[in-house]
Chains A and B, each alone.
Chain A
Amino acid sequence: MGQRAQSSFFVCDGVNMMRTPLYEQHKAAGARLVDFAGWDMPVHYGSQIDEHHAVRRVAGMFDVSHMTVVDLSGIRVRDFLRHLLANDVAKLKTAGKALYTCMLNDEGCVIDDLIVYFRDDTHFRIVVNAATREKDLAWIEKHAKGYEAVVDERDDLAMVAVQGPRARELAATCLPAAGHDDVLALKPFNAVAIADYFVARTGYTGEDGFEIILPGEQAPDLWDSLARAGVVTCGLGARDTLRLEAGMNLYGQDMDENTSPLESGLGWTIAWEPADRDFIGRGALGRQKADGVANKFVGLVLEGRGVLRAHQKVLVDGVVVGETTSGTFSPTLERAIGLARVSKTIGDRCDVDIRGRQLPVLVVKPPFVRNGEIKVDIERRGERS
């Protein structure tokens, strides 16, 4: 038996692995650990599929402490971020409000995607991907100088995502009592600081829930108390199938430094107005928009048996029109699903080449699943285009 294709994040070298403050919890719970961007992280604790369903149906928790939290401060920090990011932090007017955005290079392609939180006029917090930590920090530092912004990587902090229809209610019981009302009153994409905890109503699963940033030394107690409250421990395997069902992009797979947000289903994250805001990549992106983008980003559902994976060819009438960027077996749909960058002219059906065989797929608009409900018509049948 030998490996043929795998989800891109399971890269192993096994030496000098970093560990999160929850490493002992994972070991004690019998997690299968894998190398994720140099971190020893749980891929599952027994059943990736059961963990997936726990998040869709009740509540699950993920150790995402490998992600990089960076605090940015300074008198001109808002101006700095309005230049650095393709979405516009000027939209953030109340303390704790969050925004999803891409950070682009001069060519208008994606260095990383991130969430930025507004704390006050001189303080913002961003959370970037683990695999892109070094290049992100270098890019941010380089551009921060002109704005005298201070860049403070918070590697003292851990991060736990609690996700699912009952996640907020169960998580609230594990947070300091004085903060219960405030966390339960949080609107989506808002955060609040409660004692040492920074609690945001955000996530990467398509379910309601919180992402909780807290001092690393307090993370094991929070984790244990969430487990006692009935929140199911979940690994990064379920996180990947959940985000893909939710139609959320994974950096390095669905977009990277060679693709723009306009080719990656992320056009909605670009703030074109006001027209005089000079954000990095704007010139190149504006030209691409004016010239017209040849590709679009779509969801795929495999009609029959098999599993979609990244980098499979997408064909119409035997002609290659694109490539899958992500693919997996969807536990909710019980079908293979994927994301693909394809010719703009594609219809609602096409084929995907899986090991030399062309298998029929439906072209759909993501998300596949949101808040526990299937959002695509997978029973659709009819004449092939």
Chain B
Amino acid sequence: MSDIPGDLKYTRSHEWVRLEEDGSVTIGITHHAQGSLGELVYVEVPDVGSELSPGEACAVVESVKAASDVYAPVEGVIVEVNDALADQPELINEQPYDDGWIMRFGEVNHDTLAELIDSDAYLASIEDE
């Protein structure tokens, strides 16, 4: 059974989005996504300062069996990336919603936040797969 925290927003392409108290927005991939990929062995993150649009491929997560793009769920500028993933890509398998976060946006376009789905809708979307 997949772990889908109720306090996060999601995309149908398996990214999760957390609105932080300081207004920044943290992004990762879901528990379901890491389970489908299997053990991660390499993560490529975007450069800090990248300006991204929703749906833009901006990171790559590679397991033993496959490489997958991670898409920007919102519009905004990257202010921080998770450097720990370079040495420990398995953090995404172990703690996809915590230490396995991938990147953080500073200010984002709030209209694009409104396009995201909630945990119930995400659960429904993966049950349809």
Of the stretches B17-25, B37-45, B74-82, B109-117, the one at the interface is B37-45
* Residue in B42, B64, B70 whose CB lies within 8 Å of A305: B42
Expressed in whole angstroms, the minimum distance between the Cβ of A89 and any Cβ of chain B is 36
B interface SS class: strand
Known interface pairs A305-B86, A329-B41; A4-B67 also in contact (CB < 8 Å): yes
* Residue in B39, B65, B68 whose CB lies within 8 Å of A1: B68
Contact indicator B41/A1 (Cβ below 8 Å): no
Q: Does A307 make an interface contact (CB < 8 A)?
A: yes
Q: Which residues of B contact A331 (CB under 8 A)?
A: 64
CA distance A241 to B65 in the complex (A): 9
Contact indicator B70/A237 (Cβ below 8 Å): no
Contact indicator A6/B66 (Cβ below 8 Å): yes
Q: Does B9 make an interface contact (CB < 8 A)?
A: no
Contact indicator B67/A5 (Cβ below 8 Å): yes
Known interface pairs A7-B65, A48-B65, A355-B60; A2-B71 also in contact (CB < 8 Å): yes
Contact indicator A48/B42 (Cβ below 8 Å): no
Q: Name B34's closest neighbour in chain A (CB-CB).
A: A1
Expressed in whole angstroms, the minimum distance between the Cβ of A324 and any Cβ of chain B is 13
Q: Which residues of B contact A328 (CB under 8 A)?
A: 64-65
Known interface pairs A10-B65, A329-B64, A355-B60; A1-B70 also in contact (CB < 8 Å): yes
CA distance A242 to B41 in the complex (A): 16
Expressed in whole angstroms, the minimum distance between the Cβ of B53 and any Cβ of chain A is 16
Contact indicator A1/B67 (Cβ below 8 Å): no
User: B9-32: which have CB < 8 Å to A?
Assistant: 13-15, 29
Q: Which residues of A contact B69 (CB under 8 A)?
A: 1-4
* Residue in A1, A5, A237, A336 whose CB lies within 8 Å of B38: A237
Q: Name A10's closest neighbour in chain B (CB-CB).
A: B65
Q: Which residues of B contact A307 (CB under 8 A)?
A: 41-42, 62, 67
CA distance A331 to B64 in the complex (A): 9
CA distance A44 to B93 in the complex (A): 15
Contact indicator A309/B67 (Cβ below 8 Å): yes
A34-48: CB near B (< 8 Å → 1, else 0) gives 000000000110011
Contact indicator B64/A1 (Cβ below 8 Å): no
Q: Does B61 make an interface contact (CB < 8 A)?
A: yes
* Size of A's binding interface in residues, CB under 8 A: 26
Q: Does A306 make an interface contact (CB < 8 A)?
A: yes
Best-surrounded residue of B13, B41, B64, B69 (most CB of chain A within 10 A): B64
CA distance A3 to B57 in the complex (A): 11
Q: Name A236's closest neighbour in chain B (CB-CB).
A: B65
Q: Does A194 make an interface contact (CB < 8 A)?
A: no
Known interface pairs A307-B67, A309-B67, A328-B64; A1-B14 also in contact (CB < 8 Å): yes
Best-surrounded residue of A1, A3, A307, A329 (most CB of chain B within 10 A): A1
* Residue in B15, B62, B64, B86 whose CB lies within 8 Å of A48: B64
Contact indicator A306/B64 (Cβ below 8 Å): no
Expressed in whole angstroms, the minimum distance between the Cβ of A152 and any Cβ of chain B is 35
Q: Which residues of B contact A10 (CB under 8 A)?
A: 65-66
Q: Which residues of A contact B38 (CB under 8 A)?
A: 32, 43-44, 48, 237
CA distance A355 to B60 in the complex (A): 10
Q: Which residues of A contact B33 (CB under 8 A)?
A: 1
CA distance A6 to B64 in the complex (A): 9
Q: Does A49 make an interface contact (CB < 8 A)?
A: yes
Q: Name B59's closest neighbour in chain A (CB-CB).
A: A1
Contact indicator B65/A4 (Cβ below 8 Å): no
Expressed in whole angstroms, the minimum distance between the Cβ of B82 and any Cβ of chain A is 15
Contact indicator A1/B61 (Cβ below 8 Å): yes
Q: 16 A-B pairs, CB-CB below 8 angstroms?
A: A1-B13, A2-B13, A2-B57, A2-B71, A3-B68, A4-B60, A6-B66, A7-B66, A43-B65, A44-B38, A48-B65, A237-B38, A305-B42, A305-B86, A306-B44, A307-B67
Interface residues of A, Cβ cutoff 8 Å to B: 1-7, 10, 32, 43-44, 47-49, 237, 240-241, 305-307, 309, 328-329, 331, 336, 355
Known contacts A48-B39, A48-B64, A329-B42; 14 additional CB pairs below 8 A are A1-B29, A1-B61, A1-B68, A1-B69, A2-B69, A3-B66, A3-B69, A4-B66, A5-B66, A6-B65, A6-B66, A237-B65, A241-B64, A307-B62
